[in-house]
Structure 1
């Protein structure tokens, strides 16, 4: 399968990339950082350096790759958990404008499948509308919404101890995502058993 992975160098994207390539998929990994493109290429994928907010350029990049599936693993979150409370607007923009641009690019490319990251917990006040818009748009396009629990493990906000449920180890989340590449349209909750 040809897969366009948006967010290929993020916390879960960096784990998905080698799993997808290892499973024999042809993968294009989107990153907005030229410095991170080498990591995408090192995993055996095609690096695409582009900004998701440039809709026209993004569409060209996705159409040029001609994917069967577009996977949205983009977030805009700070590296430090202490700054998380002030990052809501940027992450909401990814969920709304970024999602709209990726869906339009996938449609223009004729991609038959679309998977998108979401959350399995109630969002902080003021962020629920963006998540609802994001999920509704993905479902209206016949896509799959992956509601992940809070990630824990290396490279996450919770490296040494897991957070309260709903949660999932980031490596387990990546492995379970691979199993969902052909899931039917709908919402799938990806969390540790309780």
Structure 2
């Protein structure tokens, strides 16, 4: 059992000791990984970039280099780790905000095909819990369809959907000192901390935004 702390006090105890974190090298995943490890969890950090494996090892994770679109390889990797919990923090976003429009199709594919592959791998490995990221704002076209697919698929297996506001802070499209994004929004460090605190939530959809409090009231 992991103990999650803020300051000097224990704020939660979580049953999920072995966590397979897909998207561990991303802007949120790279913050989640050391928080989970500090809480006493064991983390397999998945990235598709061999160059980022060393970074994940430095954070204390067991690096797993795998492409989510390689369904067979993904299933093998998740089975080999045999996690209690699989966490989906995968996105396929461009480095620059001005390229977001051009990258919509790639991110929609991640939310559809990537999510389906990761769910299948988690089920094959016998994982007891599945947690996935979504967004707290409405989109249009293929982006909204992909969001709805992800959320429906995760809820269908009794999982947890975390709808994040737009991130701001170091490493995001809105770095420290820059103009804040429009609401709904959340500082990326706070998003990571609240994700860790929410690992034992009941199945449902939860909004993680700076104006949404921290009581994890389901939105559905």
TM-score range, shorter chain: over 0.9
Residue equivalent to 1:166: 184
Residue deviations 1:80-114 (CA, integer Å, cap 9, x gap): 00000111110001100000000001001110000
**Which residue of the other structure, out of 31, 45, 48, is the alignment partner of 2:47?**
31
Q: Which residue of 2 aligns with 1:135?
A: 151
- Output the aligned Cα RMSD: 0.8
Compare relative contact order (CA 8 Å, sep 6+) and give the higher one, 1 or 2.
1
Partner of 1:55: 71
Match of 1:88 in 2: 104
Look up the match of 1:153.
169
Q: What TM-score do the two structures reach when normalised by structure 2?
A: 0.87
**Deviation digits for residues 51-86 of structure 1 (CA, Å, limit 9, x no counterpart):** 000011100100100100000000000000000011
SS in 1 for 2:45: strand
- Structure 1 consecutive aligned stretches of length 4 or more whose deviation exceeds 6 Å: none
Distance 2:180 2:158 in 1: 33
Task: Please name the residue that 1:178 is paired with.
Answer: 196
Matched, 1:103 2:119: yes
Which residue does the alignment assign to 2:34? Answer: 18
Which residue of structure 1 lines up, in the alignment, with residue 87 of structure 2?
Answer: 71
TM-score by length of 1: 0.98
Contact 2:71 2:117 in 1 (8 A): yes
Q: Secondary structure at the match of 1:130?
A: helix
